[in-house]
């Protein structure tokens, strides 16, 4: 069974490898410290304030829903991180 949030992490990692700046890529960069501590290999791409970049990208798409979508994405990332951190401790 795939962890919750894989639908963000998997494409986000692929986007980072391909040099694409997507919501998923920014979400992965925001969670980089937790992902790396849990053993997830994140491409060595650095961006200042990835959470802000994520919000800006979402606002460009639809400013009215950007705030809610931003928090939903970050909550999914937190779920993914908790799941892989738990698996890494076993």
* Span 16-52, pLDDT tens digits: 999 999 999 999 999 999 999 999 999 999 999 999 9
* Structural domain spans, the chain: 6-89
| DSSP sequence for the chain | -PPTTHHHHHHHHHHHHHT---HHHHHHHHTHHHHHHTT----S---S-HHHHHHHHHHHH-TTTHHHHHHHHHHHHHHHHHHHHHHHH-
Query: Binning pLDDT at 50, 70 and 90, where does residue 90 land?
Result: confident
Please identify which residue in the block is written with the tokens 């919750």.
4
């Amino acid at each position: 069974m795939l962890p919750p949030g894989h639908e963000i992490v998997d494409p986000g990692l692929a986007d980072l490898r391909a040099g694409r700046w997507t919501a998923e890529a920014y979400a992965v960069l925001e969670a980089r410290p937790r992902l790396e501590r849990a053993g997830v290999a994140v491409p060595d791409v650095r961006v200042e304030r990835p959470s802000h970049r994520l919000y800006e990208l979402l606002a460009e798409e639809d400013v009215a829903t950007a705030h809610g979508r931003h928090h939903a994405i970050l909550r999914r990332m937190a779920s993914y991180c908790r799941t892989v951190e738990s698996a890494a401790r076993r």
